[in-house]
Each structure stands twice: as structure tokens, then as C-alpha cells.
Amino acid sequence: MSLGQAINKLAEEKNITKYRIAKNSGIPQTTLSEIASGKNLNPTIDTIEKIAKGIGVPVSELMKKAEELD
């Protein structure tokens, strides 16, 4: 669930809602919510890239945060 935790933490740090992340990334809000809550543990690389873009961070920062929270 560390990726979900990283999404939540970065969203909080950047003061951005999950709704806005979904809009910015072009992925459905339900998909983002499933990943952020840990219900979807296997998002595709493409989806991870879109989420990082939606948050406004490089993929490397999102993954680093996920490792820190693991």
C-alpha cells in the first residue's frame, strides 16, 4: 500500500485534492481512489506516470516517497 500512501502524502504536501489529481492526470477518479486506498495494488506504469503528472512531481519522486513509506 506504499504507493497509495505516497499519493495521499504528496497530495497533502502539495495541498491538492484527489479530484484535482484525477482531472490533471486524465484518469478516472475511481481508479485513483482505488490506488490511493490500496484496493488496486498493481497500477500500470502508464497510470503511475499519469498520477505523478497529476500531482506535479516526477515519477522518481512519487516512487521515492512510496519507498520511504513502505
CATH number of the domain to which 17 belongs: 1.10.260.40
Question: Given this model, what pLDDT does residue 15 score?
Answer: 97
Domain total in the chain: 1
What's the mean per-residue pLDDT of the chain? 95
How much is the pTM?
0.92
Which contacts (CB < 8 Å, 24+ apart) does range 60-63 have? 61/10, 62/3, 62/6, 62/7, 62/10, 63/3, 63/6
Q: What is the largest CA-CA distance in the chain?
A: 27
Task: Please state, in angstroms and rounded to a whole number, the distance separating the CA atoms of residues 62 and 16.
Answer: 15
Residues of the chain with pLDDT under 50: none
Task: Please state, in angstroms and rounded to a whole number, the distance separating the CA atoms of residues 47 and 15.
Answer: 21
Opening angle at CA 27, ends 54 and 12, nearest 5: 40
Question: Given this model, what pLDDT does residue 59 score?
Answer: 97
Question: Given this model, what pLDDT does residue 17 score?
Answer: 97
Question: Given this model, what pLDDT does residue 69 score?
Answer: 82
